[in-house]
Amino acid sequence: MRQDHLISAANLSRESIEAVLDRAAAIDADPAAYRQRHAGAVLALCFFEPSTRTKMSFDTAMKRLGGTTVDMGTVESSSVKKGETLADTVRVVEGYADAIVLRHPSEGAAKMASEFVDVPLVNAGDGAGQHPSQTLLDLYTIRERAGLDDLSVGIMGDLKYGRTVHSLAHALTNFDVRQHFISPESLRLPRNVRFDLHESGAQVREHTDLDAVLPELDVLYVTRIQRERFPDENEYHAIAGEYRIDEETLDAARDDLSVMHPLPRVDEIAPEVDDTEYARYFEQAHNGVPVRMALLDELLTQAEAER
Amino acid sequence: MRQDHLISAANLSRESIEAVLDRAAAIDADPAAYRQRHAGAVLALCFFEPSTRTKMSFDTAMKRLGGTTVDMGTVESSSVKKGETLADTVRVVEGYADAIVLRHPSEGAAKMASEFVDVPLVNAGDGAGQHPSQTLLDLYTIRERAGLDDLSVGIMGDLKYGRTVHSLAHALTNFDVRQHFISPESLRLPRNVRFDLHESGAQVREHTDLDAVLPELDVLYVTRIQRERFPDENEYHAIAGEYRIDEETLDAARDDLSVMHPLPRVDEIAPEVDDTEYARYFEQAHNGVPVRMALLDELLTQAEAER
Amino acid sequence: MRQDHLISAANLSRESIEAVLDRAAAIDADPAAYRQRHAGAVLALCFFEPSTRTKMSFDTAMKRLGGTTVDMGTVESSSVKKGETLADTVRVVEGYADAIVLRHPSEGAAKMASEFVDVPLVNAGDGAGQHPSQTLLDLYTIRERAGLDDLSVGIMGDLKYGRTVHSLAHALTNFDVRQHFISPESLRLPRNVRFDLHESGAQVREHTDLDAVLPELDVLYVTRIQRERFPDENEYHAIAGEYRIDEETLDAARDDLSVMHPLPRVDEIAPEVDDTEYARYFEQAHNGVPVRMALLDELLTQAEAER
């Protein structure tokens, strides 16, 4: 990785991605070897908006490395309410911790904050911006079963608003992956994302229907279609129903298809899929721990070396 | 205990109860011996409704065993708000933790959740259902002074709605205990609980007045009478006043009577009782730590052995 | 220190202050030596009102000593809402922890609570009352650059309502310090504080203007002027503007002036000051960790010795 902060997955090279995934695999293979690795180190959790899953996952990762965490608490209870700037908050917090995880509702917040602190800062989501550890755990999950080359990956659902989807699509351009985007017309991938993907030379196709492309997919990445995107309740139900996965849908899939989902899900994947070999989404969530352990390990080790 | 989860105190045998209490006593006698026992282990705290005391007590117990905890935070900040099911939440969380403590407002939630996870799950209260660690710490507190056989135990206050009371009453049927229930008519033990107690062969008597039975009690377990149970404020005050304990009330008690209360108390026990030998309620709260240490130790040790 | 609790800075002697600061300096010089010092110890964080900075700082301090913390959570989620008294809450909590940090909105709360518990209790702010660890970290920050004798210290801003200011002013009377108070007439130091300072023999002067006194100051301690103190918005802006510090203001200052601020700041100090040698406020916040480590170390070591 060779950098002090982790702000975006967009500027990660194939080599640096693979280095993180290899380290995560090593951790997964022998977690006990890492149990005391950062004993005494403190990670600050600064979540300016709630994100239980991401927070618990980083919290767990740090503790599995032998370290501890201190939590800024909610914005409602913090100095932010008294008018403190983000720059001031992180400069105070860096005096407490060896690294900072920052979640913020505003795009660009993590980059800005990182310029004020000397300890490593990890972006855990900044609005419509980046969430690099999510992308890395997605890649890790894909790679575990299917490798990362000569793959067909379908990404389905809300492709318009999904930060997770855009970030994953960008990251996949580092690998020999055919990308299929499946969505209703109204939730298509935004023009600028399509443009960037084409510029990068990625093999991209768009579909409004899963049926045609499903048989060739190695991975089907499903995302949540949010009710609030639709002015009309009936339209929402019609569309959500069309992009719902159940056992019958998957009859046409390859036996080794990975069905993924960033979770939480609502109705996008029927519970009956949970017990099939296709279902990888809980495993995917669990992979957040070794991947974030790998990230924290790299950043903390580097920071210690520089001191 | 020989079980993977702890959902209910109702199906605990006398032997399994005594095994937990013995282990708790061993921990109490030499806590330092347990200080590193589960170093590296992570306990997830999933509280779907607030319960400070129970949460702090489990949190402390895990840390006194050398382990750490990760906290799901409040429901307001969690994926639950996005429509995630309990089954999904616990399946994600089990990827982070070696055991889960679950508090939930719905009866049956813990049992249901436990069927979805492979790590041990402890029920820390599920609505009108069970709260087994509370029952075990009550038994532990009783046993410390008076043993658990040939006892007269009075349970007083709100016997109608109190989960704590029903669970304790059931558990006491494993022992040679005469149970006296003291309450206003309107807050009597529910018919089904009385039926179950009689079925089990327990020696049960009901009273509307403490005076007659107080002199023979070894234990008086007081519970809070909640204002919101009464449509009429004056009726509430009249009844609450009648079932209030103070030093004068206790003149008629045996010298070694244990006065217990699950806390928080409001007016049920006058502060002047706190400094008497009768008062066991703070000690009772403190006993939550060794009892929960014993429970966690047993479940974690067993889970490790099975891996 | 030789006391069981830390409630107020007012009754700390010069010797006991210096002992804490010396210990903090020793910790700062070699933090690794303290990393396991209180391994296994548990600190309870009882914050009856939010105070992110103070809480994170105590949390970090305990963890840097090898200990762990358990958090009572917010008042909204706690037994307090059910009508529990503070005395009951702390008597329950002392069964979980080896020490308690208490923050409470009511003056006198910490003193009262301390009378009910046997474990050491640290006051982390009680309304208009005391916040001794803040005072100690202020003194530590002053001493680091300028020592604590033959000093001119200016304290500026809201001197009427600021607990921090009153406490620091009292503490400085232990040393050979000339105190200059700079504020608008409406936010002057209260009569009783002025009286106490004069009684103690302190060298005190009041100013409405910074210019005259700035050149002789070794320390300028700036506090926030709160909008809500002014019925009139325009008056607020006029006054806040007059007591704002920027690079130009500081042209007249000595080169080794320390500009301090308890943070969070809003507009009192221009961001351009942050990169000057004057700025000590982030360092001041960071000093909360070694100072609180020193306090906790002293109290825990003493408590262990007495057991």
Q: Do A293 and A257 lie in a common domain?
A: no
Residues 6+ apart with CB under 8 A from C61: C288, C289, C290, C292, C293, C295, C296
* A7 in a structural domain: no
Percent residues over pLDDT 90 in chain B: 83
| pLDDT value for B183 | 96
Of the candidate ranges B60-64, B146-150, B180-184, B240-244, the one whose mean pLDDT is the lowest: B240-244
Q: What is the mean pLDDT of residues B96-103?
A: 98
Q: What is the mean pLDDT of residues B58-73?
A: 97
- Which residue in A40, A88, A96 is closest to C263 by CB distance? A88
pLDDT class of B83 with cuts at 50, 70, 90: confident
Q: Which residues of C touch A70 (CB under 8 A)?
A: 56, 59-60, 63
Could you tell me if B203 lies within 8 Å of chain A, comparing CB atoms?
A: no
* B156 in a structural domain: yes
CA angle, C84 then C87 then C93, to 5°: 85
Q: Which residues of A touch C66 (CB under 8 A)?
A: 40
Which DSSP string do the residues of chain C spell out, in sequence order?
---S-B--STT--HHHHHHHHHHHHHHHH-GGGGTTTTTT-EEEEEESS--HHHHHHHHHHHHHTT-EEEE---GGGSGGGGT--HHHHHHHHTTT-SEEEEEESSTTHHHHHHTT-SS-EEEEEETTS--HHHHHHHHHHHHHHH-SSSEEEEEES--SS-HHHHHHHHHHTTSSEEEEEE--GGGPPPHHHHHHHHHTT-EEEEES-STTTGGG-SEEEE-PPPGGG-S-HHHHHHHHHHT-B-TTGGGGS-TTPEEE--S--SSSB-GGGGGSTTB-HHHHHHTHHHHHHHHHHHHHHHHHHH-
pLDDT class of A1 with cuts at 50, 70, 90: very low
Pick from B47, B51, B61, B59: nearest CA to B298: B61
Give the residue from chain B lying closest to C88, CA to CA.
Answer: B264
pLDDT digits (tens, 9 = 90+) for A243-255: 999 999 999 999 9
- Are residues C299 and C120 in contact, defined by beta-carbon separation less than 8 angstroms? yes
pLDDT digits (tens, 9 = 90+) for C49-89: 999 899 999 999 999 999 999 999 988 777 677 789 999 99
Q: Which residues of B touch C76 (CB under 8 A)?
A: 50
Residues in chain C: 307
Residues 6+ apart with CB under 8 A from B62: B38, B41, B43, B68, B69, B296
Q: What is the mean pLDDT of residues C128-133?
A: 91
Q: What is the mean pLDDT of residues C18-25?
A: 98
pLDDT class of C2 with cuts at 50, 70, 90: very low
| pLDDT value for B2 | 43
CA distance B94 to chain C (A): 22
- Are residues B167 and B223 in contact, defined by beta-carbon separation less than 8 angstroms? no
DSSP three-state, residue B132: helix
Q: Do B243 and B102 lie in a common domain?
A: no
| pLDDT value for A162 | 82
- Are residues A89 and A67 in contact, defined by beta-carbon separation less than 8 angstroms? no
Pick from B22, B39, B246: nearest CA to B143: B22
From residue A181, alpha-carbon distances to A33, A130, A160, A203 in Å are 40, 20, 11, 11
Alpha-helical runs (H) found in A94-190 = 109-114, 132-146, 163-172
CA-CA distance, B202 to A92, in Å (whole number)?
62
Q: Do B82 and B203 lie in a common domain?
A: no
Q: Do C105 and C169 lie in a common domain?
A: no
Which DSSP string do the residues of C211-247 spell out, in sequence order?
TTTGGG-SEEEE-PPPGGG-S-HHHHHHHHHHT-B-T
CB atoms within 10 A of CB B75: 18
- Are residues B141 and B287 in contact, defined by beta-carbon separation less than 8 angstroms? yes
CA dihedral B273, B278, B283, B287 (to 10 degrees): -140
| pLDDT value for A236 | 87
Contact B56 C82 (CB under 8 A): no
- Residue B54 is a catalytic residue: yes
- Among B68, B72, B117, most A C-beta atoms within 10 A, so best to mutate, is B68
Q: What is the mean pLDDT of residues A66-87?
A: 87
Contact A59 B82 (CB under 8 A): no
Q: Do A95 and A153 lie in a common domain?
A: no
The residue from C5, C38, C104, C131 that is catalytic is: C131
pLDDT digits (tens, 9 = 90+) for A153-162: 999 999 998 8
At B5, list the tokens: 């989860």
- Are residues C116 and C189 in contact, defined by beta-carbon separation less than 8 angstroms? no
Could you tell me if C268 lies within 8 Å of chain A, comparing CB atoms?
A: no
- Residue C254 is a catalytic residue: no
pLDDT class of B219 with cuts at 50, 70, 90: very high
Give the residue from chain B lying closest to C91, CA to CA.
Answer: B282
CA-CA distance, B38 to B20, in Å (whole number)?
17
Which DSSP string do the residues of B234-289 spell out, in sequence order?
HHHHHHHHHT-B-TTGGGGS-TTPEEE--S--SSSB-GGGGGSTTB-HHHHHHTHH
Q: Max alpha carbon distance in chain B (Å)? A: 59
Q: Do C148 and C255 lie in a common domain?
A: yes
Could you tell me if B42 lies within 8 Å of chain C, comparing CB atoms?
A: no
Residue C46 has pLDDT above 60, yes or no: yes
Q: Is A61 exposed, middle or buried (CB count within 10 Å of its CB: 0-12, 13-18, 19+)?
A: buried
Q: Do C212 and C139 lie in a common domain?
A: yes
pLDDT digits (tens, 9 = 90+) for B171-198: 999 999 999 999 999 999 999 999 999 9
**Starting from the edge strand earliest in sequence, which strands make up the sheet with B177-182, in order?**
B203-207, B177-182, B151-156, B219-222, B258-260
Q: Do C238 and C196 lie in a common domain?
A: yes
Identify any residues that bridge with B179 across adjacent strands, giving them in sequence order: B153, B204
Which DSSP string do the residues of B20-70 spell out, in sequence order?
HHHHHHHHHH-GGGGTTTTTT-EEEEEESS--HHHHHHHHHHHHHTT-EEE
* A6 in a structural domain: no
- What Rg value do the Cα atoms of chain A yield, rounded? 20
CA-CA distance, B303 to C101, in Å (whole number)?
35
Q: Which residues of C touch B66 (CB under 8 A)?
A: 40
CA-CA distance, C160 to C166, in Å (whole number)?
9
pLDDT digits (tens, 9 = 90+) for A169-184: 999 999 999 999 999 9
* A257 in a structural domain: yes
pLDDT digits (tens, 9 = 90+) for A231-283: 888 888 888 888 999 999 999 999 999 999 999 998 999 999 999 999 999 99
Chain B touching partners, 3 or more CB pairs below 8 A: A, C
From residue A267, alpha-carbon distances to A157, A182, A277, A284 in Å are 12, 17, 19, 18
Residue B205 has pLDDT above 90, yes or no: yes
Residues 6+ apart with CB under 8 A from A268: A157, A222, A223, A224, A225, A240, A243, A244, A245, A261
Pick from A145, A103, A131, A134: nearest CA to A262: A134
- Tokens 């900075």 locate to C53
Give the residue from chain B lying closest to A75, CA to CA.
Answer: B77
Q: What is the mean pLDDT of residues A99-111?
A: 96
Could you tell me if B63 lies within 8 Å of chain A, comparing CB atoms?
A: no
CA-CA distance, A56 to A51, in Å (whole number)?
9
Contact C263 A83 (CB under 8 A): no
Contact A71 C56 (CB under 8 A): yes
- Tokens 């009371």 locate to B165
**B209: Cα separation from own chain's centroid:** 25
- Residue B166 is a catalytic residue: no
Q: What's the first-to-final CA gap in chain B, in angstroms? A: 18
Contact B74 C77 (CB under 8 A): yes
Q: Do A137 and A112 lie in a common domain?
A: no
- Range A34-53 burial, b when 16+ CB lie within 10 A, else e: beebbebbbbbbbbbebbbb
From residue C25, alpha-carbon distances to A68, C135, C143, C299 in Å are 23, 16, 10, 17
* C7 in a structural domain: no
The number of domains in chain A is 2
pLDDT digits (tens, 9 = 90+) for B286-303: 999 999 999 999 999 999
Q: Which of residues 4-33 of A touch B (CB under 8 A)?
A: 32
At A182, list the tokens: 């499946």
**B226: Cα separation from own chain's centroid:** 18
| pLDDT value for B212 | 92
ipTM: 0.95
- Mean confidence (pLDDT) of chain C: 94
pLDDT digits (tens, 9 = 90+) for A48-62: 999 989 999 999 999
* C200 in a structural domain: yes
Residues 6+ apart with CB under 8 A from B192: none
Q: Which residues of B touch A56 (CB under 8 A)?
A: 44, 70-72, 93, 96
At C54, list the tokens: 């103070």
Could you tell me if B66 lies within 8 Å of chain A, comparing CB atoms?
A: no
CA distance C7 to chain B (A): 24
Q: Do B30 and B101 lie in a common domain?
A: yes
Could you tell me if B282 lies within 8 Å of chain C, comparing CB atoms?
A: yes
Residues 6+ apart with CB under 8 A from C22: none
Q: Do B165 and B259 lie in a common domain?
A: yes
Domain of B301, in residue numbers: 14-129+288-306
| pLDDT value for C3 | 60
CA-CA distance, C111 to C4, in Å (whole number)?
12
- Residue C81 is a catalytic residue: no
CA dihedral B20, B24, B29, B35 (to 10 degrees): 120
- Give the residue numbers of A annotated as catalytic, written as ranges: 53-54, 82, 103, 131
Residue type, C216: E
At C81, list the tokens: 């809402």
Q: What is the mean pLDDT of residues C127-141?
A: 94
- Mean confidence (pLDDT) of chain B: 94
Residue A80 has pLDDT above 80, yes or no: no
Residues in chain B: 307
- Are residues B43 and B98 in contact, defined by beta-carbon separation less than 8 angstroms? yes
CB atoms within 10 A of CB C199: 9
Could you tell me if A63 lies within 8 Å of chain C, comparing CB atoms?
A: no
Q: Do B224 and B139 lie in a common domain?
A: yes
DSSP three-state, residue A139: helix
- What Rg value do the Cα atoms of chain C yield, rounded? 20
- Tokens 């310029």 locate to A115
Q: What is the mean pLDDT of residues C268-292?
A: 97
* C112 in a structural domain: yes
- Are residues C283 and A108 in contact, defined by beta-carbon separation less than 8 angstroms? no
Phi, psi of A13, rounded to the nearest 5 degrees:
-80, 165
- What Rg value do the Cα atoms of chain B yield, rounded? 20
Identify any residues that bridge with A122 across adjacent strands, giving them in sequence order: A6, A101
* C269 in a structural domain: yes
At C98, list the tokens: 């080896």
| CATH code at position B220 | 3.40.50.1370
DSSP 8-state assignment for residue A189: P
pLDDT digits (tens, 9 = 90+) for C179-236: 999 999 999 999 999 999 999 999 999 999 999 999 999 999 999 988 877 888 888 8
